[in-house]
Amino acid sequence: PGASPPFSALLIIVMLSRSRVLPALRGFATRAKHTLPDLPYEVNALEPAISAEIMQIHHSKHHNTYVTNLNAALEKYADAEAKGDMAAMIALQGAIKFNGGGHVNHSIFWSNLAPKTCDGGDVTKAPGIKAAIEAQWGSVDTFQSTFSATTAAVQGSGWGWLGYDKASGSLKIATCANQDPLSTTGLVPLLGVDVWEHAYYLQYKNVRPDYLKAIWGVINWRNVEERFVAAK
């Protein structure tokens, strides 16, 4: 969404050979600056599942910081490249991965959510992904409980994902640490849930499972379905 780059561009951070990393970073670093996308709903629209206070801080502070730091890292990379400073170029790859991943992950996250007044939580509005989930897990309830248990078990900070595996044509539940993007695992992201504490602590304290139970009521299944169709 918005100014987010195709995620293939961000894979540069895990390619360490000169022949693959440097040409990829060259094009990525010279693009227009990334910007914070607007939320597609009001900050209080997801209550009571997610409070307005959390949404405001999460979006305007945390996500905005990833965007700011990503732009700064890319500017430094471009400067290092112009100077032929290979050591600096390599050193910046971690910052690009972390902040670029944070930007991409959150841009997906906001679009994966919707108020109940806009059918948030209603999987019947997405018959394609509903059928695929039922075919693989037996029921949507079983999928949700499996996803929640897997995601609740993330150690420290990270994300829970429903991804599409193009190679097998199947859906997969996966987790990623910190801001590592799901695309780095070879899966196409369909649905992501942020389990960094800043996503829930002000409301749910340290009870991550309660947050994961509540968030199903505001999932934008139409958006998940659009991503599923595009991935196929």
CB 10 within 8 A of CB 97: yes
**pLDDT given for residue 32 in this prediction:** 79
CA distances in angstroms from 178 to 76, 79, 212, 216, listed in the order given = 23, 27, 17, 22
Q: Name which of 10, 229, 221 is nearest 105 in CA terms.
A: 10
- By three-state DSSP, how is residue 119 classified? coil
CB 1 within 8 A of CB 59: no
pTM passes above 0.75: yes
Strand partners, 165: 170
**pLDDT given for residue 24 in this prediction:** 46
Q: What number of other Cβ atoms are within 10 A of residue 71's Cβ?
A: 16
Sort residue 175 into left (φ over 0), alpha (ψ -120 to 50) or beta.
beta
From first to last of its 232 residues, the chain has per-residue pLDDT tens of: 444 444 434 444 344 333 344 444 455 445 679 999 999 999 999 999 999 999 999 999 999 999 999 999 999 999 999 999 999 999 999 999 999 999 999 999 999 999 999 999 999 999 999 999 999 999 999 999 999 999 999 999 999 999 999 999 999 999 999 999 999 999 999 999 999 999 999 999 999 999 999 999 999 999 999 999 999 9
What are the tokens at 214?
């509540």
